[in-house]
Amino acid sequence: MNILLRDKVAMVTGASRGIGRAIALDMARAGADIILASRKQDELEKVADEIRAIGRRALPVAAHIGKMPDIVNLVNKAIKSFKRIDILVNNAAANPTMDPAIFASERAWDTIMNLNLKGLFFLSQAVAQIMKDTGTGVIINIASVSGILAHTTLPVYAISKAGVIHATKIMAADWAQYGIRVNTISPGQVKTHLSQALWSNPEIYAMMLERTPLKRMAEPAEIASAAVFLASDCASYITGQNFLIDGGISLI
């Protein structure tokens, strides 16, 4: 495990908790130095300390990926510190509403799309321009099983994640000529802060387990191990794919 990403430089967004934190730590254990991004610097510093304890370098940068100036600042700081970016994990996401589609507001739509899709695309574009010059790179986008199933519980979030899955295909097809591989991981229900409104409600939690063949939620580490694989040379001929890690939800 500690040689899969030896001396690579990985940028992980939404890295202060949940899936992003787990990916950042696993990539550090696999030998990578990590650029950490999320909106709260103090929370990033804690993860940075964990990475340094592993023996790898860490650069925590407070950034709202839904804002273009923050994307520019993040990339500039990364290049100033590390000179390159070998791996980008687009994990940052938001879902401020559980309103059904018929009542979804424009404000909620813009908040979700700006971070989950627009920010993801333009950060990927900025990093791809750097990877292009080196002739190699890996981008991993974190989507959701909601992006392929018509889950009406989180309609705008689901639409944004469907966009992420297709954006991955476009990026993979267009950027393969530069040696850049792009794949998606689509988790099912993962026990994180983002999904707490679901799993902390006993009735909703029971419904979730009922429709999951494995009868449990995933842990962030189970998503992280897949990300390390996709970022490594073990996956050197894989691009444009959507990896479902959903406990079998998409089977029924």
Residue pointed to by tokens 């923050």: 70
Beta bridge partners of 218: 190
Q: What is the pLDDT of residues 120-147, one digit of tens each?
A: 999 999 999 999 999 999 999 999 999 9
The answer to whether residue 174 scores a pLDDT higher than 80 is yes
Q: Is 178 a catalytic residue?
A: no
The answer to whether residue 102 scores a pLDDT higher than 70 is yes
Between the CA atoms of 38, 39, 40 and 44, what dihedral angle is there, to the nearest 10 degrees?
Answer: 10
pLDDT of residue 227: 98
Sketch out the chain's domains with CATH numbers: 9-251 (3.40.50.720)
Backbone angles phi, psi at 125, to 5 degrees: -60, -45
The helix or strand, by DSSP H or E, that contains position 38, with its residue range, turns out to be strand 33-38
Q: What is the pTM of this model?
A: 0.95
pLDDT of residue 1: 57
Residue of 157, 178, 205, 237 marked active site: 157
Beta bridge partners of 61: 37
Residue 3: other Cβ atoms inside 10 A:
9
Q: Are 12 and 24 in contact (CB under 8 A)?
A: yes
